[in-house]
Amino acid sequence: MAPAKILLFGGTGPTGLLTLQGALEAGCEVIAYARNPGRFPESIRNDSRVMIVHGSLTDKDQLSHAVSLKPTVVISLLGPAAHEMVSWLSRPSNWSSSMFSDFYRILIPLMKEHDVRRIYAMGTTSICHEKDLASFSRWFTISCMWLMAHGAWNEMQKIAEFFEKTDKEEVEWTVFRLGGLYNQKKGEPEGNVNVGVVGTGGDTGWVKREEIAKWLVAQVTSRSQEWKGEMPYLWTAERSKTD
């Protein structure tokens, strides 16, 4: 089986860099699409297995170029950062922002055009799924987000609605949902992320960035179809009491 080639969006963020590095360690090639390529470490920029494509999320020509390079799979770790959610709160006019859902409306037709069929797109637990179980902590989190970062909440709903309307046989999509993110501590043993639905026993509402990256790389290298057309929730079973 030929090595996987990943088209990665959001690769300059903490989780993105871990995913990129994990993909390289697994023998993958990476097309890294970035608005600011200078944020990649020099070791990444100089790696022959990494092709960096510079462009914005609205640059259809550059996006088409990136997709035309025939990746095996697309991974998108795009989403509003904490400081962006605060800015949406302070500027009510931005509550209708659709930066990321608009990006998918450009990307998915390009994937169809270039016959690229697989995508993993990041979402949050503010996206509800019919298979989810009752969870007070998730209800509280969503309520706070709806009140204090309504633009970010609304954008997640748009992303979910868009993918739900996308034929999973034409584009094999998976929207993986995350709660709070944190870094694995030095010396802390590695683990495997839990994957399922919100409200499952042991659901902490938190997930290690390292475990997200490990799961994504494993999905890609195994050519997994397990979560095609699904919105799995990822979480770490237990957090350190000192976190």
**The predicted structure's pLDDT at residue 206:** 87
- Decide if 109 is inside a domain: yes
Q: Residue for token digits 């390289």?
A: 24
- Decide if 241 is inside a domain: no
Question: Which CATH number does the domain housing residue 218 bear?
Answer: 3.40.50.720
Cβ contacts of 39 within 8 Å, gap of 6 or more:
12
pTM, full prediction: 0.89
**The predicted structure's pLDDT at residue 75:** 98
Q: Which residues make beta-bridge pairs with 230?
A: 174
- Decide if 240 is inside a domain: no
Q: Is 225 left (phi over 0), alpha (psi -120 to 50) or beta?
A: alpha
What's the domain count of the chain? 1
Domain that holds residue 60: 5-235
User: Whole-angstrom Cα distance, residue 67 to residue 183?
Assistant: 31
- Decide if 148 is inside a domain: yes
The string of DSSP codes covering 86-131 is HHHHH-GGGGG--HHHHHHHHHHHHHHHTT--EEEEEEETTS--TT
Q: What is the mean pLDDT of each run of 10 residues along the chain (243 residues)?
A: 91 96 97 96 96 97 98 93 51 62 97 97 89 72 67 87 96 94 81 82 84 96 94 80 40
Strand pairing class (194-196; 233-235): antiparallel
**The predicted structure's pLDDT at residue 125:** 87
